[in-house]
A and B are shown apart, each in its own frame.
Chain A
């Protein structure tokens, strides 16, 4: 009989894979000012919140590598960023925060903002394009707000998967 944990972790991996495909599927959802949501970020955060920093880090690297393959930027950058987010969120939930949907939304907002700021810094600022206000209003803000819409549903989905398997284990 297959271990329940193996099934649970396989489901998480499938969710990450599905969200990665959606993230790079054109026109799956309408864009806001040319921006689409980053589905992988709330998924990694939710998994880290329920499964701890080790599982969070594992899924973060998996999601980050899938993300990196799609962008012609430095391979490993998103994987490294998500790894740090996964570990940090896993630890913060154990030490400081309560495991609620509000915490998930706060983590997603902070992580998404940092990701966008880093991208702006490396892609635009270092190239000499320093129009931060435009990037903030037309790229960073819409991306963060659009991503936040998916934070609660993804959190609830991961919570249900976690509760179902926890109940069965007990």
Chain B
């Protein structure tokens, strides 16, 4: 052991360790901006990631179709019932079109937010574990992607960009406890802050905090982004409320919410690179902690 500690090999290990420590500290203090090393490695690794993504797509489709047969059948029956109910409500719906305009607008991103500049991207890798709830997309700095850009699908909010490399970026989803988003309840106008929660993360659910204790929010209500904080455009669908309860302090309510987007199973996303009201500064209400 003494021989090893005095050897040239040991000194080399120490130098490598110090270099890695330096890179680590630099990335951590950079707020997600990539170091040159991370960038260089990502340029090399990206093609391999794209290939693996295509291979995994095949496995995903096969496994999902077998594993989800029972679930799909049950969902199909539920959807048929819902279609029947919706058809009955269609006549009423036409009469209520004006009153429902605000809700309708949240379903149509382009009507509501013509200012959105969107960059489509494919998912090329996913983080292996629960700690981060993130994935890598095939668009990076050269495609105009910037740190803290919002990421959506046509169904709703997915998360935000937390690391930008030259040809790829890491997106952290709203399931992650580090991602906060200012929200409002579409039906009541109540505001709150959505965040991931370790216990809810495994079930693909998020928590809505700081809802007024006078709020009439109920299960089934739709949660959309409020636009506060400047990270996410307003009126992007976030999810539907599953249950509401009082915080232990009794000062406010919280809600458990099912996101509109199943971020574990999506294959492509849209990155919003710009919109009216976008902030470049961090906010205590939105963005990654």
Instruction: Name A residues whose Cβ lies closer than 8 Å to a Cβ of B.
Output: 17, 21-28, 30, 33-38, 53-54, 57, 61, 64-66, 68-77, 79-80, 83-84, 87, 91, 95, 119-120, 123-124, 127, 129, 131, 134-135, 138-139, 143
Contact = CB atoms under 8 A, between A and B. Distances in A.
A72 B162 contact: yes
Contact of A57 (B13, B55, B199): B13
A37 B32 CA distance: 26
A75 B22 CA distance: 9
Contacts of A26: 56, 60, 125-126, 135, 264
Given A26-B126, A54-B9, A33 B55 contact: no
A33 to B, nearest CB: 6
Contact of B132 (A69, A72, A79, A138): A72
A115 B99 CA distance: 54
Contact of A25 (B22, B42, B125): B125
B27 A143 contact: no
Nearest to B24: A76
29 contacts: A21-B52, A24-B49, A25-B53, A25-B126, A26-B135, A37-B128, A53-B9, A53-B13, A57-B13, A61-B16, A68-B41, A69-B38, A70-B136, A73-B132, A74-B24, A75-B23, A75-B27, A79-B20, A91-B4, A123-B132, A123-B178, A129-B177, A129-B198, A131-B198, A131-B199, A134-B199, A135-B198, A138-B198, A139-B131
B125 A35 contact: no
A57 B21 contact: no
B48 interface: yes
Nearest to A79: B20
Given A26-B56, A69-B42, A36 B198 contact: no
A57 to B, nearest CB: 6
Interface string B27-54: 1100010110110011001001100110
A27 B48 contact: no
Contact of A28 (B19, B27, B56, B178): B56
Interface of B: 1, 4, 9, 13, 16-17, 19-28, 32, 34-35, 37-38, 41-42, 45, 48-49, 52-53, 55-56, 59-60, 63-64, 125-132, 134-136, 162-163, 165, 170, 172, 177-178, 198-199, 201-202, 264, 289
Contact of B45 (A69, A72, A75, A84): A69
Nearest to A127: B289
Nearest to A17: B48
Nearest to A25: B56
A68 to B, nearest CB: 7
A95 B4 CA distance: 11
Contacts of B165: 69
A37 B162 CA distance: 24
A69 B56 CA distance: 19
Nearest to A143: B129
Contact of B130 (A24, A28, A129, A139): A139
Among B19, B35, B45, B64, the one with the most A-chain Cβ atoms within 10 Å of its Cβ is B45
Contacts of A120: 131
* Best-surrounded residue of A73, A79, A138 (most CB of chain B within 10 A): A73
**Residue from B24, B25, B63, B132 having most chain A Cβ neighbours under 10 A:** B24
A21 B25 contact: no
Contacts of B128: 23-24, 35-38, 70
